Structure 1
Amino acid sequence: MIKIHYFFDPMCGWCYGAGQLMEIVEQHRGFELEYHPGGMIAHQAIDSGFRQHIVQADKRIQTETGSLFGDGYLARVTSDAPLILDSFMPIRALYVASQLAMNPMAMLKAIQRGHYQQGLEVEKLETLKQLALALGADETKWVELMNSQAQAANEWVEDTHQLMAQYQVQGYPTLLAQIDQQMVRIPHSRFYRKPNQWQQWLDELASTQA
């Protein structure tokens, strides 16, 4: 089995765009997926100028990847209401999900759909709790860990930054395959809108280590 290192951020639009490809990786029996969250944005209020940049970038992401940005999200980004983006609270939720033996990809997808489709405030504890409960999390344990595991989640991000420096990872999403004690970059962006070819490419990669 090949270990795939996934460098990502829950507030990264291109990571959302790569969601279909990542689900195929996660479901493939030939790979073990290891998550490395980057902590791209730390509870930042987004001004009108940067909102316009986001809208334009999202149009490109949608065109190239086929991932759709929902009306709820677009309304939130283009409105005059305050817009707070934060990577660290969703990353904490992903860490807690892993501690509760939940599927991390399912939690990540729930956060991404909540943000990029429904326009939910995924920087808020209550929003993340509702997403986790919908996936079957125990409410008492979830709340307890979300309140106690902030430092551990931040250390997870710090570990990611160390690996990014070590392997010269400069952006999200990045996929590295660990093969024969070497890290090999996976050209996932070649396969946007091509899930069948992506599946075939992954099958061939997995067969080299069978």
Structure 2
Amino acid sequence: MKLIYVGDPMCSWCYGFGKELSALVARVSDLKLEIVVGGIRAGATDVLDAAGKRFRLQHWQRVEALSGLPFNREAFMAREGFVYDTEPVCRAVVAARRFVSGDALLSVFRAFQNGFYVQGLDTTDARVLSDIAATALAAVGVQVNADSFYLAWAGAEAIEETQRDFARARALGVASFPTLLLEEQGRMYAVNSGYASVNALEERFNQIERLVA
């Protein structure tokens, strides 16, 4: 069985969902995890105005209430001229796949989320992403300096692979993030779309297991 997680590090619901998915992976330790980045606002060029920021804070408030995870609203509101383009951070996840996979890659994915939502960092900036990645990879036992990661992130291979991820997300029929799918013997089963607790995820996982047994 393989669990396929389709998400975007700069999607607030994916941020809230992260700790629930990590808990599920810990409970079902023999489950293979694949991460596909979806590009919720990949290639965006519009500068986020005050109204756009307030709209996102409404979502953040709901995610915080459900997940209990913190948000750095002050840093977000204070950032001027911010273009909410999620391609760079999605590509950083793809670049990280050269070094780690499975739950280790999920840890790096969540480090990018923490950088944006908690530390208030600009995760559209390649050098910021490279610093986060180097620290997160070291935490899972992989030594890659920020400059080496930047070269992987900036290369044509990572750019092309990121676009393939976006296309795959569409081919899988994913309409919203986060989405969790289970692949078993060539068949795909929907586990969850949107935020869900680890208990709800485990219950659904067990239902599917009984179905395919």
**Separation (CA, whole Å) in 2 of partners of 1:154 and 1:142:** 14
Partner of 2:16: 17
Partner of 2:119: 118
Please state how far the C-alpha of 1:190 moved relative to its aligned partner: 7.2
**Separation (CA, whole Å) in 1 of partners of 2:131 and 2:32:** 28
The amino acid that maps onto 1:142 is F
Q: CA RMSD in A?
A: 2.6
Match status 1:54 vs 2:60:
no
Partner of 2:36: 36
- Three-state SS of the structure 1 residue aligned to 2:20 is helix
**Separation (CA, whole Å) in 2 of partners of 1:8 and 1:119:** 20
Report the count of equivalent residues. 202
Please state how far the C-alpha of 1:145 moved relative to its aligned partner: 1.5
Please state how far the C-alpha of 1:205 moved relative to its aligned partner: 4.8
**Separation (CA, whole Å) in 2 of partners of 1:202 and 1:39:** 26
Query: 1:134–1:164: structure 2 CA closer, same or farther, 3 Å change rule?
Result: closer
The amino acid that maps onto 2:127 is E
**Separation (CA, whole Å) in 2 of partners of 1:100 and 1:190:** 28
Please state how far the C-alpha of 1:55 moved relative to its aligned partner: 0.7
The 5-angstrom pairing of residues 1-210 of structure 1 reads: 2-27=1-26, 28-41=28-41, 42=43, 44=45, 45-69=47-71, 73-79=72-78, 81-101=80-100, 103-135=104-136, 136=138, 137-139=143-145, 140-148=147-155, 151-187=156-192, 189=194, 191-192=196-197, 195-196=198-199, 198-199=201-202, 201-202=204-205, 205=208
Please state how far the C-alpha of 1:171 moved relative to its aligned partner: 0.9
Between the aligned residues of both structures, percent identity stands at 21
**Separation (CA, whole Å) in 2 of partners of 1:52 and 1:188:** 25
Structure 1 gaps, min length 5: none
The amino acid that maps onto 1:133 is A
Please state how far the C-alpha of 1:126 moved relative to its aligned partner: 2.0
- Three-state SS of the structure 2 residue aligned to 1:104 is helix
Normalised by the size of structure 1, how large is the TM-score?
0.82
Q: Which moved more, 1:47-56 or 1:131-140?
A: 131-140
Whether the aligned pair in 2 keeps the contact of 1:88 and 1:154 (CA below 8 Å) is no
Please state how far the C-alpha of 1:40 moved relative to its aligned partner: 1.9
Query: 1:190–1:16: structure 2 CA closer, same or farther, 3 Å change rule?
Result: closer
The amino acid that maps onto 1:83 is F
Please state how far the C-alpha of 1:200 moved relative to its aligned partner: 5.5
